[in-house]
Amino acid sequence: MIKNKRIGVFTSGGDSPGMNAAIRAVVRTAIFNNLEVIGIKRGFEGMIDNDMIEMNSQSVSNIIQRGGTILKTARSKKFITEEGMNMAAENLKKQNIEGLVALGGDGTFRGCFEFRMRHNISSIGVPCTIDNDLFGTDFTIGYDTAINTAMEAIDKIRDTADSHNRLFFIEVMGRDAGFIALRSGIGGGAEAILVPETKTDIPHLISILEKGWNRNKSSCIVVVAEGDESGGAYDIAKQVKEHFDYYDTRVSILGHMQRGGNPTCMDRVLASRLGVAAVEALIAGRENEMVGVIHRDIEFTPFEKATKHNLDINLNLLRIQEILAT
């Protein structure tokens, strides 16, 4: 239970569209429940440096539509040390903060778990990552915006590919997971999608491209997750071009544009639901859990399970993509 009537909220790790909407939901839900809320800037770094501000309803006005995070974010090497954790705990105690809402992903929740093991500070995690790779929620905040950003880029690249009879290899984010590549590739009508979860078969890829050429396709798109085991888009394009040079081949790296932009309605609503649920969970005495939505219902998953049991990719979607690309 929150006895001191004061909680903290922070964003950590990589930013994702919808973080601001989640901050807004946390702050206003806290105020609605007569709690004070402290914004901690730059994640765990801000805890160590005592970089904190009091927040009110006006603090989060007109931010639901903005990408990024008004609290800034960082990855902290100091926090993983005992000295860093001790400094962070001392600063939180000075501020009378006894509960935290952590907006982030795998690394953020691991940090919160270790923090609770050493110091008596409760945390509830809100999944904010464009990779959608956390166990315990159907979708993470930022994922829907990221796949729509990637799909819009694929659509634009298709226009120029059609105009020049080109083969484009488009690299999207996904170092360890291919969720962005899979959804944006299907949505963008890609001829092939390469993800870290499956072994890339270059001869099979060439066969797919040859079939497209033989059907007089004016362009081909191959979407590549950056973590594919055969290398990034440049490496794979080079391997393909050595054996298949019919199309004029180009490579496009979408990069960090996928993290930015105004969050979609889906992400804004998800962030609002999870932000409210996180504060209510702290009030109810829950701790060391991530809040998520599973089959449309709010569910809680222990940090240890959420970070150790990553979601499996839906291999049936890869099968569907190959059917539709014929």
- Which DSSP string corresponds to 195-249? -TTS---HHHHHHHHHHHHHTT-S-EEEEEETT-TT-SHHHHHHHHHHH--SSEE
* 235 located within any domain: yes
Residues 28 and 137 grouped into a single domain: yes
Number of domains in the chain: 2
Q: Which residues contact 323 (CB under 8 A, 6 or more apart)?
A: none
Catalytic residue positions, numbered: 131
pLDDT tens digits, one per residue of 250-277: 999 998 999 999 999 999 999 999 999 9
pLDDT at residue number 246: 76
pLDDT at residue number 115: 92
pLDDT at residue number 102: 97
* Average pLDDT value for the chain: 92
Helix (H) or strand (E) holding 102: strand 99-104
Read off the tokens for 126. Answer: 């809100």
Q: Which of 10, 2, 1, 81 is nearest to 44 (CA)?
A: 10
Evaluate whether 109 touches 140 at the Cβ level (below 8 Å).
no
pLDDT at residue number 298: 98
* 325 located within any domain: no
pLDDT at residue number 3: 65
Question: Residue 309's pLDDT band (boundaries 50, 70, 90)?
Answer: low
Last residue of a domain, one of 242, 259, 276: 259
The pLDDT of 132-160, averaged and rounded, is 95
Question: Residue 139's pLDDT band (boundaries 50, 70, 90)?
Answer: very high
Cα 235 to Cα 242: distance, rounded to the nearest angstrom = 11
**What is the maximal distance between C-alpha atoms in the chain?**
71
Residues 213 and 284 grouped into a single domain: no
Residues 130 and 270 grouped into a single domain: yes
* 248 located within any domain: yes
The pLDDT of 233-258, averaged and rounded, is 88
Residues 108 and 172 grouped into a single domain: no
User: Is 23 or 200 the better-scoring residue by pLDDT?
Assistant: 23
Kindly report the CATH number assigned to the domain that includes residue 233: 3.40.50.460
**Which amino acid, one-letter code, is at 319?**
R
* 318 located within any domain: no
Kindly report the CATH number assigned to the domain that includes residue 284: 3.40.50.450
Domain extent, residue 13, equals: 6-142+263-308
Sign of CA dihedral 44, 61, 26, 276: negative
pLDDT at residue number 96: 92
Given a cut of 90, whether residue 294 has pLDDT beyond it is yes
* 313 located within any domain: no
pLDDT at residue number 251: 94
* 286 located within any domain: yes
The pLDDT of 283-287, averaged and rounded, is 93
* 320 located within any domain: no
pLDDT at residue number 310: 65
Residues 269 and 161 grouped into a single domain: no
Could you tell me what percent of the chain has a pLDDT over 70? 98
Look at 42-46, 135-139, 214-218, 255-259 and tell me which has the smallest mean pLDDT.
214-218
* Confidence (pTM): 0.92
* 314 located within any domain: no
Residues 27 and 163 grouped into a single domain: no
Residues 15 and 121 grouped into a single domain: yes
